[in-house]
Amino acid sequence: MPASQLKSGAFLSYVVLALQNLVGLLYTPFMLRMMGKSEYGLYSIAASIVAYLTILDLGFGNAIVRYTAKFRAKNKQEEQYEMFGMFFLLYCGIGLVALLAGGVLYWNAENIFDASMTANELSRTKIILALMVFNLAITFSVANLTYHYLTSQETSDGVLRNKIKQLFVNLLIIFLKKHEFSVNRLKRALVS
């Protein structure tokens, strides 16, 4: 790898790290102000619970990156495609397990939060929880494609594109919130 490419990769890594910290410092107070303390608290609780389900990845993403590089170095394209197929099925299974575990959390939310939440807060938390679990299950199902994309690009380019995608998701959340999209509206839309 040329020295200039290593320098640009190191520079982009620092840029991404700085942007992550800056977004974290600016994003949290902004979301708190936009959502309000109660709804932001419910969002944080649901996010922290769903974060435990990300453990189901079990480090397979790193294995995809490692073995992709190994197979490419040895020019074993057939083995590489077989590995992608295996990990695709594996991640679909992990997505299904995450969906089932999330369903258990959803149906037992009353038992988990009954003493600390009102009925309205509990209802809103269940909706947030369901949306986050569904998002996680879909994310697991397409994780193989994401890792394949990251390994097929230059590392710094793939990381930067991934961070830009995350930034757009955050901007979408801000846009929806500015236009008064709320959990209650989503609930009414889903029920009717």
Which tens digit of pLDDT belongs to each residue from 94-118? 999 999 999 999 999 888 887 788 8
Q: Which of 104, 97, 86, 4 is nearest to 55 (CA)?
A: 97
Please state, in angstroms and rounded to a whole number, the distance separating the CA atoms of residues 16 and 34. Answer: 25
* Average of per-residue pLDDT across 121-144: 83
Please state, in angstroms and rounded to a whole number, the distance separating the CA atoms of residues 92 and 89. Answer: 5
Structural domain for 138, as ranges: 3-191
Q: Residue 125 burial (CB < 10 Å; 0-12/13-18/19+)? A: buried
Does the structure show a pLDDT above 90 at 171?
no
Which helix (H) or strand (E) covers residue 47, if one does?
helix 37-53
Q: How many domains does the chain have?
A: 1
Confidence of residue 83 (pLDDT cuts 50, 70, 90): confident
Q: Residue 57 burial (CB < 10 Å; 0-12/13-18/19+)? A: middle
The pLDDT score that the predictor gives to residue 103 is 92
The pLDDT score that the predictor gives to residue 15 is 78
Give the pair of three-digit tokens for residue 44. 């944080």
| In the block, residue with structure tokens 């879909």 | 138
Please state, in angstroms and rounded to a whole number, the distance separating the CA atoms of residues 12 and 6. Answer: 10
The pLDDT score that the predictor gives to residue 177 is 59
pLDDT digit string, tens, across residues 121-131: 888 888 888 88
Q: Which residues of 61-83 are buried (b: 16+ CB within 10 A; e: fewer)?
A: beebeebbeebeeeeeeeebeeb
pTM of the model: 0.66
104 CA to centre of own chain = 20
The more confidently predicted of residues 147 and 46 is 46
Q: Residue 42 burial (CB < 10 Å; 0-12/13-18/19+)? A: buried
The top-scoring range by mean pLDDT among 73-77, 92-96, 135-139, 153-157 is 92-96
Percent of the chain with pLDDT over 90: 6
The pLDDT score that the predictor gives to residue 47 is 86
The pLDDT score that the predictor gives to residue 121 is 85
